[in-house]
Every structure is written in C-alpha cells, then in structure tokens.
Chain A
Amino acid sequence: MLGTGLLQGLAVTAKNLAGSFHDPDRFVTTQYPEEKTRLPEAYRNFPFLVSESADDPMGTLRCVACQICEKECPPQCIYIEKSKDKKPDAGGKMQLYPQVFDIDTAVCMSCQICVEVCPFEAIKMDQVFEIAATDRFTGLMLDRHALAKPNSYYHQIHPTEAAEVDGRLAAERKAAEEKARAAAAAKAAAKPAPVSSPQPPATPGAEAPRMPPPAA
C-alpha cells in the first residue's frame, strides 16, 4: 500500500536514533583529538631517519650520508652535509654520518622515493599527519634531531615491513661477519698478520664523491 515504504523508512531512522544512545558501538565516528583510530599499516607520509637505539639517536643513525636520497628526491627537499670524521655503525664498521640532515616537509610530497633508493634501510616512511606549524620556513623544516626515530618506533608503525628489514639487515651482517672470518682465516693461513684496518665501505654513495649541490 502507498505509504508503507515511508513508514518502514521512518522506523529504520527511529531505530538508529534510539540505538545510538544505548549502543556506543554503532558510532561510526571517532572523537578525533582525544581518541585516534589506528592507522592502517600501509599508511605512510613524510620520511624519518631510523636509529638503532632510542637512548642515543644521533650516535646510532643508520644513515651514512651517502646522499642518494638527496639526489633522487624529486622536489629536492632533502639537504645533507657529510661528517668529517667517522663513527662505527651498528655492525661495528666505521662509517660517515650526516652532520646535517634536513627535510623541508613543506616541500616533501611523500613520494617514498628516498626510501626506495636507500641501500642502508636508514630512511623510512612515517605516519605523522599532525605537523601543522605557524611558520612554514622554520616550523616545517625538520633537522636530524627531529627526524631521528628509533627502530622500535618503526616496528610499531609498520610491523611487517620492519620485521622484514630487520631480517635482511641481520642476514647481511651475518654474511659480512662470515666473509670477514673467512678472510681472516685465509690471511691467518697465508701469513699471520694483524687484521687489516677497516676501509671505507664500498657503498654506492662512495662511488659518487662529488660535493652536494646546494639545497634548493
């Protein structure tokens, strides 16, 4: 009969009106600043620098200042200055480290290319979205202190990806150790001599030792 559909519709809305009062699970919205929904693992924006430990982020940065990301970055928002000295990395190898590592998030377009090209798993995509600032020249310019976040944080935001990365790094480290042991054994067999001093690693960054272009 004419009108029954209207009444059914009114019943549906009335049910929802009453239901929203006694059943909070019905709510489809989140009270944002107080509560936050868990972002999906695949969500990504703005890169951050991975450090091994949370206590000493500057000392344990994975970044070796190879500057590949700086060169690949399409909007040229990364600026890196290499260090003059070297520090041992997580594997104990002596490495350069970034004295200055700036990302201008006002320019960054979250394309993830820096992450794709990094051979050291040192830069990864973050999940921050609340980076509003009152001054775009200083507030959105993140230096290495602001960018460094521990590996545990990486595990927190992208668990699967972080586990994969850790596995790969462990395998590489193991392979390197075995290689070193084999080399040492071979050397010891040939002629007992002290282990050769650590050489600068043959990284892709080291193949291009040109001076960095001035940041755009």
Chain B
Amino acid sequence: MSPAATTNEPILERAPVLLRDWLTGSLPERARWVVNSLIAIAVLLAVFGLLFAFLTLAERKILGRIQNRPGPNRTGWFGLLQPFADGIKMLTKEDIVPRTADPVLHFLAPVAVLAFSILTFAVIPYGRHLVPVELDASVLYFFAAGTATELAVFMAGWSSHNKYALLAAMRALAQLISYELPLLLSFVPVVLAAGTLSTTGIVAAQAGWKWHSVPHWFVFTPWGAAGFVIFMISALAESNRSPFDLPEAESELIAGHLTEYSGFKYALFFMAEYFGMCALSGMAVTLFLGGWQAPLPVLEVIPSYAWFAVKLLGLLLGFIWIRATLPRLRIDQLTRLAWKFMVPLALVNLGTAAFWSLTFAWAGPLQLLRWGVALALVAGPFRLLGRGLSAGLGPRTYRYA
C-alpha cells in the first residue's frame, strides 16, 4: 500500500490508509513495514475468503435462477449462511488418503495450489492507494505465480495414484499450456501501450477521459476490445471453468484431479479455483477496464476501491453466466480453439496495437481511417479464421449398429 495519500482527496478514498497508519503509526520504522505487510495479507485473505464464500453461494443462486429454481434458500436468510454450513461440513469430513498415493505430494498439492493462487493477489491495484506490493514487473510476476498453480494440479493428479486423476492431470497440462499462450499474448499490447509492466503504471496509463465522458480504458480501443475477449476466454480456460472444465469433467473423469481428495483438502482446491478466477478477473480489470478508475469524472466521488469491486464482481458474474450457458468442449475442440484461433488472433492483435500506437498523432478525418483500419484488422482475421475453424470437422455423424 502506497503511503502517499494526499489530503485533498475525499475521506473515503484515504480511509483504509488512514486506518492502517493509525494502527501502526506508533511503531518503529522497521517494525511498521512488517506489520503493514501483515495487515495487508490479513485483509486480503479476509476479503477474498469472504468473497469466495459468497461467490459459491451467488453461483449456486444464479445457476438455480437460470434453471428456474430458487437455489439454496434454507440456511439463514435467503440461504446466506450456506457457505458457512458448507465450510463446517467440509471441515468435519474424514480426510482420506489412498494407500498407494504419494502422501507427501498428495498433501502438498492442495497447499501449493492455494499458495500460488494467493500469491497472485499481491500485485493487483485494488484502489488508488491499495496496492499490496508494487513491483516493476508485476504483470510478469502475476502470470508466473498464476501458472505455477498448474504444477500443483498436475501434482495432485500424479500423487493420487488414480487413473482418472492422472488423465485429468494430463488434460489439465495440455489445456493450460495451450491457453497460457493466448493469455500472455493478449496482454502484450497493453504493455506496449502503457510502456510498463507495472500494474500501477498500467492503471495510470488508462486515466483520464476523452470529451469528459469516454474513459481512456484500453477496452474502448479496437485492439483492447479484442484483447479483452481473448484474455477472458483464456482466463476461463486457465481457471478450469466451464466450458473449459475438462480436468474435472465429471461425466468422464469422476472429479478429475480431485477424485482422491476429500474434506478440507477438497475445499482448498475449490478455494484455489475461485481465487484464481478472482485474480484473473482482477487482472483483466487492471489491464483492460481501467483498474480502479471511475467511468465518469463525476463518479470519482465514489472511492476507487469500490469501482474496482464493481468491475470485479461484474466479470465474476460473467464467469457464472457463461458457466450456466455453455456445455463442455471436447479436448480436441479445446486445443483447436486455442492453437488455430486464439493464438493467431492474439498475434494479429499485437500488430493492430502497434498500428494503433504508431498512428497516435492522426487527427481529423485520419482518425476515422485509423478506426477503420484497426477494426478491419480485428474483424477480418476473426471472420477468416472463424470460417476455417470447424471446416471438415463439422457435426459428427454417428452410425448405430
């Protein structure tokens, strides 16, 4: 958290920093740094832990509503205590480790998957003064930590000594390697435009409004919109969410890498999945949706962290909505989508972004030309690649004996 809270800002904007300084102000300099960091960790864990709890409830409620049923509504008011009931249930369940499993790796996998997904929370700017750790290459750090969770998924599948778990682990690796590429390629234009790998710098680059109404968010540029969509699709795959939840495809693999996990270890995997979803959504907000910036100048009265929360929740609802809509892909469809469609599109998008930043000075009618060319660079490859994506692989015909 940056200490530079200027006094001419609204009190709500400064409130978290003021509160922290009031708590730790009397400590010596060295201890203050440690205690400040510990406070940041505690707050992050508490906020995202609660978000995870209520996200599971929201997900079940929304899925229910979409399927025309009320969802959990028995535990507490509107089912609001359901996450806690689930937590107690998970804690009281027996912890079963298969006799032939590798006990150390089997224990380590859920710990590692959760640890790596929590690490990613460190560099997201949650508000104007709420950046837990400021790094020069924080985007790089984020994706490095996020990718490490896949190692833990493979660890879980391997150590379980179960054919379904191992199959799931191999699927997970194939999927995650495939989608790591478009995920990384989709944010390279952002780094190009912002000229920095630091998340605070990227948010700062999206500050300001055009004609006092259109924010300078990257999603409002042709390459930004395309990059955002590619990023979100890859994020779906990276966080093993439907329609890319192949590693735990229950119709084929029981529960995939979670097959041999029970009790709280299972809950840890679950938690890591939601943390990963939250972290990737937070990163998408930072990279494309202007981070904690308000959409309109007048709305700056509302503190920046509230705007971040609104955008984050919006993306999370999108995740849930997509889960409720789309059926699971086959593994060949999944990798085909990544390698034949998203990777080329992301590469072309890099060129679009380069064009966009080179033509920065164009004005007047040239501005129209700039938009036209950029949109054509986005839509053209999309149409062309989309046409060839399923060619020759159309609907399967089945012959019955």
Contact = CB atoms under 8 A, between A and B. Distances in A.
Given A10-B325, A13-B324, A27 B69 contact: yes
B323 to A, nearest CB: 10
Interface in A1-58: 1-3, 6, 9-10, 12-14, 16-17, 19-21, 26-29, 31
Contact of B325 (A12, A28, A31): A12
A21 B321 CA distance: 16
Interface in B310-333: 321-322, 324-326
B326 A9 contact: yes
B386 A13 contact: no
B68 interface: yes
A17 to B, nearest CB: 5
B314 to A, nearest CB: 14
B65 A14 contact: no
A17 B70 contact: no
B386 A1 contact: yes
B382 interface: yes
A21 B66 CA distance: 10
A9 B325 contact: yes
Interface residue tally on A, bucketed by range: 10 to 19
B173 interface: no
Chain B binding surface, main DSSP class: helix
B343 to A, nearest CB: 16
A137 B318 CA distance: 54
B383 interface: yes
A130 B349 CA distance: 63
Contacts of B389: 2
A16 to B, nearest CB: 5
B383 A13 contact: no
Contacts of B67: 16, 28
Contacts of B51: none
A16 B65 contact: yes
Contact of A28 (B62, B68, B321, B387): B68
A13 B321 contact: yes
B66 A17 contact: yes
The 4 closest A-B pairs by CB, nearest first: A2-B386, A29-B69, A13-B325, A20-B65
Interface of A: 1-3, 6, 9-10, 12-14, 16-17, 19-21, 26-29, 31
Given A2-B382, A12-B325, 5 more contacts: A2-B383, A2-B386, A2-B389, A17-B66, A19-B68
27 contacts: A1-B386, A2-B387, A6-B325, A9-B325, A9-B326, A10-B321, A13-B321, A13-B324, A13-B325, A14-B321, A16-B65, A16-B67, A16-B68, A17-B65, A17-B321, A17-B324, A19-B68, A20-B65, A20-B68, A21-B65, A27-B68, A27-B70, A28-B68, A29-B68, A29-B69, A29-B70, A31-B70
